[in-house]
Structure 1
Amino acid sequence: MSQPTLPLPPTGLPVGSYATYAEAQRAVDFLSDEKFPVENVTIVGSDLQMVERVTGRLTWGRAAAAGAASGIWFGFLVGLLLTLFADADTNGLAVILLGAVWGALFGAVFGLVGYAATGGRRDFTSRSQIVAKRYDVLCDSRTAEQAREMLARLSLRG
């Protein structure tokens, strides 16, 4: 029986620091293009923040529509599974469509019940993500100086 892999802190020397992940990714891509051994490179995000971006107002209509949309997929799947076990005389397409309709109906009801349960405390939709304030590129100590020199050339390019 194998042991579960435990998280290990990153190792290596810093060879570059960037404000965005895209910039850090560009730096590592540059190193790779220059045939640098990138298997010795790590991108580390520091000072993590949870950012929630508000995408719109949540209304009764949106709650019902979102519930119906997710319900359609569940109903479609149930209808599809039912056709696998149905008689040969059964119209499979009708069963699938009926499953999608019932799924949409129940999904809309559940969406409305969920919205009502919040009591107006969260009348907006949003997306959340974890972002870092800074992204450091770390490199194995044997090749760190070479990586720094290469990344200095990249920064001169602009």
Structure 2
Amino acid sequence: MTTIADFSDYSDAQAAVDLLSDSGFEVGATRIVGHDLKSVEIVRGRMSYGKAALFGAGSGAWFGLLIGLLMAIFVPVGSLGTVLGAVVFGAVWGAIFGLIAFAAQGQDRNFHSQSTMKASSYTVEVPFDRARAALDILTKGR
């Protein structure tokens, strides 16, 4: 593999590969490689017992919906009641487990956040024997 382009933003690297694809270049072996990865944690807000219960109830309700829909496939009679019952059951247990998990952390972490990975730069790489064709497409397309 050989590097044909460097980008500071992932969307620019993605646009370059999209240009290659739109131009008929076989992108099956093309790679977008992120360099110097770092973990980024985005703090969303303060966590409280109420929010812990609410987030847990939401997660539990989704799980209950999944289980309820699966049960409705096998027990078609009264399936709406089965689905709603599973959603409520999941929400209640989700809230309980959300509260337990928050209480177990104590005051060590009283905020909620989202973790992501971010690269400082991105390169687009193609097989060495096809690099010239890819470079020609990129230089014409820019």
Q: TM-score range by the shorter chain?
A: 0.7 to 0.9
Q: TM-score by structure 2 length? A: 0.81
Fraction of identical pairs, as percent: 40
Aligned to 1:25: 14
Q: TM-score scaled to structure 1, two decimals?
A: 0.74
Superposition pairs of residues 17-56 of structure 1, within 5 angstroms: 17-56=6-45
Whichever residue aligns with residue 122 of structure 2, its letter is: Y
Alpha-carbon distance, 1:92 to partner: 4.8
CA distance in 2, matches of 1:98, 1:42: 47
Shift of 1:125: 1.4
Question: SS of 1:143's equivalent?
Answer: helix
How many aligned positions are there?
141
Aligned partner (choices 68, 72, 82) of residue 57 of structure 2: 68
Cα distance in 1 for partners of 2:5, 2:23 equals 16
Partner of 2:114 in structure 1?
A: 127
CA contact (8 A) 1:83 1:96 kept: no
Higher gyration radius (CA): 1
Q: Which residue of 1 aligns with 2:132?
A: 145
Cα distance, 1:148–1:95 mapped onto 2, change above 3 Å: closer
Structure 1: where are the runs of 5+ without partners? 1-11
**Normalized per residue, which structure has more helix?**
2
After superposition, give the CA deviation of every residue in 1:40-97 in whole Å (9 maximum; x if it has no partner): 42211111112111122211111011111222234445556389469x7xx5544443
| Alignment partner, residue 107 of structure 1 | 94
